[in-house]
Amino acid sequence: MKVAIMQPYFMPYIGYFQLINAVDEFILFDTPQFIRHGWIERNNILKINGDSIYIKVPLVKHERSTAILDIKINNSINWEEKILAQITHYKKKAPYYNEVTTLLNYSFEFKTESIVKLNYYALKTICDYLNITTPIKIWSEMKVEIESANAPDEWALNICKALKADTYYNPEGGLSFFDRSKYKNENIEIKFLRSTEIEYNQFSNNFVPFLSIIDLLMFCSKNEVISMMDKFKIID
């Protein structure tokens, strides 16, 4: 069984969805401490002039040590309408504006205080649209007993062992983070996914990579995006 484990990101870039599509089970790792200025409550889209801008889900103030699973959304702010307002400029040039707003409206219909649950539902919505059938699970809800981790790179190892997974997939950013020998000793193969260069027409000739899936879906058809799911290299 092939497994990938990532923190729950809000409307992430295509590489996150390629990772989901490449494995047999995808786990949202929500028990670590929440780190500010990451991708759990925000992501980047384009402005009409080609600069990027954040779309954000506002959060309730919390202690620095708060785990991701305990982070709450500040629903006293009408953040859904703000995000929808932030993307209206796409309507002028993006051929799939209506499809994307439908997906966002559907994602925002799920009312919750949990950023993890919101992101889970949004990921599922996008995956369903792109015909990605990989099961997505929330780690804190799985109730799986694992060995204690003695180093940061052992959480994934111990989860894989508990699930009897034989292959672990991670984005290539983890190449220097993981001690591959630990996985080899447990007969677990570790592979790193590197997205190949994906470019598409945006607002200008200067392509901006690694934006939210929202931007990609604005400019590319469903079938075009589905065809991009396999545009990656595996680094052993």
pLDDT digit string, tens, across residues 111-125: 999 999 999 999 999
Residue 236, pLDDT score: 78
Q: Is the dihedral of CA 117, 119, 125, 130 positive or negative?
A: negative
Average pLDDT over residues 96-112: 96
Q: pLDDT band at residue 196, thresholds of 50, 70 and 90?
A: confident
| Residue 41 structural domain | 2-235
Look over the chain and give the mean of its residue pLDDT values, rounded to a whole number.
96
Question: Around Cβ 228, how many Cβ atoms within 10 Å?
Answer: 19
CA 122 to CA 128: how far, in whole Å?
10
In the three-class reduction of DSSP (H, G, I as helix; E, B as strand; rest coil), residue 59 is classed as strand
Mean pLDDT to the nearest integer, 85-113: 96
How is 91-145 classified by DSSP, letter by letter?
Answer: GGT-TTHHHHHHHHHHHHTS--SBHHHHHHHHHHHHHHHTT----EEEHHHH---
Spatial neighbors of 163 by CB under 8 A, at least 6 apart, are: 1, 3, 25, 144
Provide the pairing of β-strand 167-171 with 189-195.
Answer: parallel
- The total number of structural domains in the chain stands at 1
pLDDT one-digit tens code per residue, 128-176: 999 999 999 999 999 999 999 999 999 999 999 999 999 999 999 888 8
